[in-house]
Amino acid sequence: MSDDADVDRETKKLFTRTNLLIRRFHRCSVTVKTKLFRSYCLCFYDISLWTRYSMQHLNKFRSCYHKCLKVFFGYPKYSSVTSMLLDLKLPSFNTILHNACLSFNTRLSFVNNAVVSSVYHMVFMT
The predicted-structure confidence for 70-89, as pLDDT tens digits, reads as follows 999 999 999 999 999 999 99
- With cut-offs at 50, 70 and 90, classify the pLDDT of residue 115: confident
Query: Can you tell me the distance from the alpha carbon of 114 to that of 105, in angstroms, rounded to the nearest whole number?
Result: 16
- Report whether 9 contacts 62 (CB < 8 A): no
Q: Tell me the mean pLDDT in the region 14-31.
A: 96
Q: Could you report the per-residue pLDDT of 45-78, keeping only the tens digit for each?
A: 789 888 889 999 999 999 999 999 999 999 999 9
The pTM for the full model equals 0.86
Query: Can you tell me the distance from the alpha carbon of 106 to that of 50, in angstroms, rounded to the nearest whole number?
Result: 16
- Residues of the chain above pLDDT 70, percent: 92
Query: Can you tell me the distance from the alpha carbon of 50 to that of 3, in angstroms, rounded to the nearest whole number?
Result: 6
Query: Can you tell me the distance from the alpha carbon of 44 to that of 15, in angstroms, rounded to the nearest whole number?
Result: 13
Is 112's pLDDT higher than 90? no
What is the per-residue pLDDT for 121? Answer: 67
